[in-house]
Amino acid sequence: MRVLLICPTPPADSWPRGVFLYSIVPTEAAQASALLRRHGHPVGLLDRQAELAATGFDWPAADARLCGTLRDFAPEQVVFFSPSAAAAETFRLAGLVRSVLGSGPSLLLAGPHATALPEESLAACPDLNGAVVGELEWTLLEVAQEGSAASIAGLLLRPTAGPAKLLPRPACADLDRLPPPAWDLCTMDYYTARSRWLIRWLPLRVLNLRTSRGCPNACRFCAAPLTAGAGVRFHSVDYILAMMEQALGEYAIDGLLFEDETFAADEDRLQRLCLAIRQRGWHRRLQWACCLRADQAQPELLREMRAAGCIQVEYGFETASDRLLQAIGKNTSVAQNLAAARRTRAAGLRVYANMMFGLPGETARDMADNLRFIRAIRPEVLSAAIMAPLPGTPLFEGLTEGQRKNLKWGDFAYLDQPRPGFNPTAVEEEQFLENYRRIRKYFVRPLVLRQLLRDAGNEDTALVSHWRKEWRRFCLRHPLRAWRLRF
């Protein structure tokens, strides 16, 4: 069966562009493509972000390219792999696919949004024939081999009569059975171009790699356990080394971003990987970054990671309130977070701090504590997000019907997140926004801002204009510092 996988982006009006764009290989879709191809099915993989970049973010031109691909490739099965932020755009593209190919091919939705809201998605988009719930690879393979059938576990087909039926598919226990991502189907020049966004603020050519799926924890706001299921599954060290060898052999990269939710979920595996990287001398060619939980930040492990080429560790600190950490099910404490930041820096690693604002019950004092926490740990990279109730998470399940109706999926795009349409904190809206604005100045420090604007050149997007204004404001307030940063 000829299968085309499409990875849509959020809609044009809610999405950052140009130099402020984060570009990573769509790993799950690329692994599903590799599995289908291994079993003899012709596969195409179309990432709309790369397509848009190739057309200079000319959306009609990117649509025209998609239509051309559909006519040339003539897929029998089209699969959209979509996060919630891209749901509205996915539904639009499904209509475009139908207008080109008619009712011939089957259209499926896969990924986090399909897993969280399969029935709602089918109701919202009549062009879809079904939804893949959970991990997509093995379900798609069965669909390619047998055709869409309600007996396939993990596949929810649009019912012709009565309620839709879904046979659950357990997560694949042995990840090494999956082939590595089909990088040759991706626009690798685009993904491995020099960028400051993957290992944030450093101008490196970075490739993202996934070595495990899932997380030992289950935070109330996090959608990671949704498609990956409970617990963690791992690729073996040998499998990871083979992927790294292939990446180093085929692409001009000097960095790796391990995209695992918790890279040290198996500490022994990570230590063996660090040792193997050093034995091969790759620590001299590659700088890498990963994400740990604060309770995994042990000094010896951090030192071994540093020796193996790690330069940055990302943590989900979220908040400087033990009460809120408990409420969101984080299972860490402020003291653990402070220690993790201190140990990471002591090991010679950069600290990437994820903070989250707008949590249910958050007070003005909690926000002030967050600010003190950020000043105390002085992270090299700060992400200060506003809580978004992602579908399928306990936070989303706790919303009222009215709150859910007000959600606009495009608002779940990363970077400049608008509010989720309601304020669950204990702070008045105006006060909340004022406090949040105070935090934002730590998000992009002046030196980084200067570098990003220099990279942006003549780019003229709303986001670039916004940051130009911020830079001008900084120059007026701190002319001497701004003058120094120019060189």
Contact call for residue 217 and ligand SF4 (CB under 6 A): yes
Contact call for residue 265 and ligand SF4 (CB under 6 A): no
Contact call for residue 63 and ligand SF4 (CB under 6 A): no
- Dihedral sign, CA of 196, 198, 200, 203? negative
6, 219, 320, 413: which one binds ligand SF4 (CB under 6 A): 219
CB 229 → ligand SF4: shortest distance, Å?
12
Q: In the sheet where 106-110 sits, what is the strand order? A: 43-47, 3-7, 77-81, 106-110, 130-132, 155-157
Single out the segment in contact with ligand SF4 by CB under 6 A; choices: 182-190, 215-223, 273-281, 440-448. Answer: 215-223
- Dihedral sign, CA of 388, 392, 398, 400? positive
Question: What gap in Å lies between CA 193 and CA 178, rounded to an integer?
Answer: 27
54, 61, 100, 218: which one binds ligand SF4 (CB under 6 A): 218
Cβ atoms of 294 and 317 closer than 8 Å? yes
Q: How far is CA 381 from CA 122, 213, 446, in A?
A: 39, 24, 12
Contact call for residue 389 and ligand SF4 (CB under 6 A): no
**Pick 78 or 257: Cβ nearer ligand SF4:** 257
Site string for ligand SF4, 306-345 (x = CB under 6 A): ----------x-----------------------------
Residue of 18, 96, 25 lying closest to 52 (CA atoms): 18
How many chain residues interact with ligand SF4 (CB under 6 A)? 11
Residues within window 274-303 making contact with ligand SF4, judged by CB under 6 A: 293
Single out the segment in contact with ligand SF4 by CB under 6 A; choices: 73-81, 211-219, 343-351, 431-439. Answer: 211-219
Euclidean distance between the first and the last CA atom of the chain, given in angstroms as a whole number: 57
Residue of 471, 455, 457 lying closest to 196 (CA atoms): 455
**Pick 127 or 135: Cβ nearer ligand SF4:** 135
User: To which residue do tokens 């249910």 refer?
Assistant: 360
51, 261, 380, 411: which one binds ligand SF4 (CB under 6 A): 261
Type of residue at 41: H
**Pick 88 or 291: Cβ nearer ligand SF4:** 291
Contact call for residue 122 and ligand SF4 (CB under 6 A): no
Rounded to 10°, the helix 462-477/446-456 angle is: 140
CB 319 → ligand SF4: shortest distance, Å?
12
CB 107 → ligand SF4: shortest distance, Å?
30
Tokens of 200: 């944030």
Binding residues (CB under 6 A) for ligand SF4: these are 215, 217-219, 222, 224-225, 261-262, 293, 316
